[in-house]
Each structure stands twice: as C-alpha cells, then as structure tokens.
Amino acid sequence: MEHEIVGAIMDALPAPLLLLDVAGRILRCNTSATAYFGSDLRHQIFQFHFRKPALVEALNRAIQGKMTSTAHYQSLGATNHALEFNFCPLPAYSDSPLVLVVCRDQSRENRVERMRSDFVANASHELRTPLTTLSGFIETMQGAAKQDEKARGEFLALMKAQAERMSLLIDDLLSLSRIEVDEHVEPRELIDLGMVVRQAESLLRPIAKEAGCEMHFDVAPDIWVKGDANQLGQVANNLVENAIKYSGRGKRVDVAVSRQSNDATLTITDNGPGIAAHHIPRLTERFYRVSAQESRTRGGTGLGLAICKHIIKRHRGRLDIVSQVGMGSRFTVVLPIAE
C-alpha cells in the first residue's frame, strides 16, 4: 500500500524522478522520467545507464555524505538537453537507504539566458556603430576640419543622420519591450482592419513617392478583428515600408486586405529583390538581416519584423513569408475574424 502511494505521488509530480537504492539500482522511474528518457528505466543500474563521471560522483557524494548533491548533464544528439540532477538521500524506511533523483530540464532557461545576452550584445553593437561615427566626426571637426566651413556643414548633416539612426533604434527597442510586456493580454477592441491599413497608407504615400515606388491598395470593407489599432497599424506600416525600401525605384507594391473563411488577411506583395529560402525562418529574429549594410543604408534597425511577430502573436495570428530571389516577396498576416 505504502509503495503504491509513493509510486502515485511520484507519477503525479511533473519533474522526471528516479528512486535508487545505494547500489544505484533504479527502483522507480516516474511517468515524466519515462517520457523524458524514452523508456522506463526500472531495474537498470543508474551508473551504467548514464555513464557520466560527474553524475556518478554526485550520487556517491549523496550516499556517503547523506546530503543532497547536484550535477549537470548535457545529453548529446538531436535533443541536446541540459539537465540538472539533484540526488537527495532519503531517510531509510527499511535497512537500505534510498536516493531520490530529481531532474530539471534547464535547456529553456539556458536558451532564454543566451538570447538575453545576445540581445544586449547586439543592441549595444547597433548603438555603438553610429556613436563611433559621431565621435569620429566630432574629433575631425575639432582637429583637421576646424576651420573648414564647407566640411563642417557636410559633417553636421552626416552627424544628424547618425543621431537619427540611434533615436530610431531606441524607439524600436522601446516599442519591442512595450509589446513584450502585454504580449499575453489578448486585445479586446473591435477593429476594422481595412481602416487601419488605409491610415497606414496615408502615412506611407510620401515615402513611396520619394522611393519612386508604386503602391496599390485593394482593401475589402468590414473585415473586423479583435485588435489594438495602433499595433496593427505598426505591423502594416513596417511591412509596407520594408516592401518599399527593399524594392526601390520603378517597382510596385500591392497591399490587400481580404477575408479567407474565418481569417482576415493582410497581404503585402512586392517585386523587389526577394529573399533566399534559408534566411526566411530567421527573419523575425531580433537584429537578423539578410545584409546588415543594406538594411542600415536603407534606415533599417533589424527590429521591424521582430516587432511584427510579437504583435501578431498577441493577436493570435501568424505571419507567412513567401519569397523568391529575383522575383519578390509576399508577407501575409493572418488574423482570426471577430464574430
């Protein structure tokens, strides 16, 4: 009876758990551990199964020192999990003491930590680049170009562009962090997607004109979604602006809002340079760019699609990207229709 209760409790707990005797024989392997390690490890010898000196040493420490010890284990192969093993000696119920092994998968934590530090490194790098250019200009103006009125005028214009770039980047970083804060709060407002896109259109017309790009809008009326008008406007704006800035002079951008069964779709099609297939899955990562230089010269921050992804996720939608090098790209935002 007692054994059954112990088994039931172990199975009810979400962490992978193993119960060992002092020789390392696995007496119990809970449901989570069975799923995690791919089979029920009962009757196997822990040391033979895991074959990692760090784990065996930690097990011995727990048995001899009668206190909890910890070891880390990185599984190899496709799964590549980082596991923390805690060996907890239990008070002896019978003649033989037992060790409870509690496993904790740290892969997600490690990944988040890595992403966070990559993000800080990337953001610092992106800010440092214009800052270095600015400092360079300041030094030149203090030294070699001190008396050169014409050069000073040119330098000031270039410095202004760098300062604008920094401020654009800071705006995007703040925008991203604000979006992340309420990513889990479902928007409640009823929005006509076409209206949002029409508003973006009026902001984008001058940009398209300056870039020499033709824009065509085909917006169906009464496509209602639950959304945040500002955020959806930002998505439309980012995607259409990308289409304009990467396509360039003489090209055409088509924007359509329509209904496909229970979905509202916003489609932006361009006949610009297109994107090679291997870049597509990574485009929505922060700071991921096909060409950093190209993006910078076009005033990009590398955050636009990351912002779109988070907003679309908040709206329970998805972003589909289809592209072919030399032919153009199509970005489709799919959102659930509000009934």
Task: List contacts with ligand ADP (CB under 6 A).
Answer: 238, 242-243, 246, 270, 272-273, 275, 283, 289-290, 295, 300-306, 329
The tokens for 287 are 């700071």
Min CB(11)–ligand ADP separation in Å: 46
Phi, psi of 63 (to 5 degrees): -70, -45
Q: Which is nearer to ligand ADP, 195 or 306 (CB)?
A: 306
Min CB(274)–ligand ADP separation in Å: 6
Per residue in 56-93, is it b (16+ CB within 10 Å) or e — as a string?
A: bebbebbbeeeeebebebebeeeeebbbebbbebeeee
Q: Which is nearer to ligand ADP, 238 or 265 (CB)?
A: 238
Min CB(254)–ligand ADP separation in Å: 12
Comparing C-alpha atoms, which of 219, 9, 161, 17 is closest to residue 102?
17
Min CB(186)–ligand ADP separation in Å: 24
Tell me the C-alpha distance between 119 and 177, whole Å.
12
Min CB(300)–ligand ADP separation in Å: 3
Min CB(182)–ligand ADP separation in Å: 21
Q: Which is nearer to ligand ADP, 116 or 282 (CB)?
A: 282
Tell me the C-alpha distance between 171 and 285, whole Å.
17
Tell me the C-alpha distance between 220 and 210, whole Å.
27
Q: Which is nearer to ligand ADP, 83 or 303 (CB)?
A: 303
The tokens for 16 are 């992978």
Min CB(336)–ligand ADP separation in Å: 24
Q: Which is nearer to ligand ADP, 227 or 304 (CB)?
A: 304
Give whole-number Cα distances, 224 to 33, 34, 186, 261, in Å.
46, 47, 15, 13
Tell me the C-alpha distance between 249 and 272, whole Å.
10
Q: Which is nearer to ligand ADP, 29 or 239 (CB)?
A: 239
Contact 201, 333 (CB under 8 A): no
By DSSP bridging, strand 17-21 and strand 26-29 are antiparallel
Min CB(323)–ligand ADP separation in Å: 7
Q: Which is nearer to ligand ADP, 175 or 295 (CB)?
A: 295
By DSSP bridging, strand 98-105 and strand 17-21 are antiparallel
Phi, psi of 102 (to 5 degrees): -110, 120
Q: Which is nearer to ligand ADP, 198 or 298 (CB)?
A: 298
